């Protein structure tokens, strides 16, 4: 399963932040590049419409936290 699909499923299942980070780390260990992981998570953020709404305490907050951690290591530049 792709990082995007697995992450979306985990996010909708209310997986804890540590579990979401472990999922990303697992894909990185399997060869996904950091920049690619950042791009994938950003695409998911857009697909879920989080660029248009702000829902603190929700899936959005979890995704944004993971995206921030991944992007801190490799800023997304488009």
Q: What global pTM score does this model have?
A: 0.85
DSSP states of 54-76? --TTSHHHHHHHHHHHHHHHS--
| pLDDT in single tens digits along all 78 residues of the chain | 899 999 999 999 999 999 999 999 999 999 999 999 999 999 999 999 888 877 776 889 999 999 999 887 665 444
> Residue 74: its pLDDT value, please?
63
> Residue 24: its pLDDT value, please?
95
SS3 15: coil
Structure token pair of residue 25: 């780390």
So where are the chain's domains? 3-73
* CA of residue 53 relative to chain centroid, distance: 17
Angle at 12 between CA 19 and CA 40, to 5 degrees: 70
């Amino acid at each position: 399963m792709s990082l995007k699909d697995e992450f979306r499923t985990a996010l909708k299942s209310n997986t804890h932040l540590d579990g979401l980070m472990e999922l990303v780390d697992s894909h990185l260990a399997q060869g996904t590049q950091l920049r690619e992981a950042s791009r994938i998570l950003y695409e998911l953020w857009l697909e879920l419409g989080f660029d248009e709404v702000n829902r603190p305490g929700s899936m959005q907050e979890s995704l944004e936290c993971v995206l921030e951690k991944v992007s801190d290591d490799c800023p997304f530049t488009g």
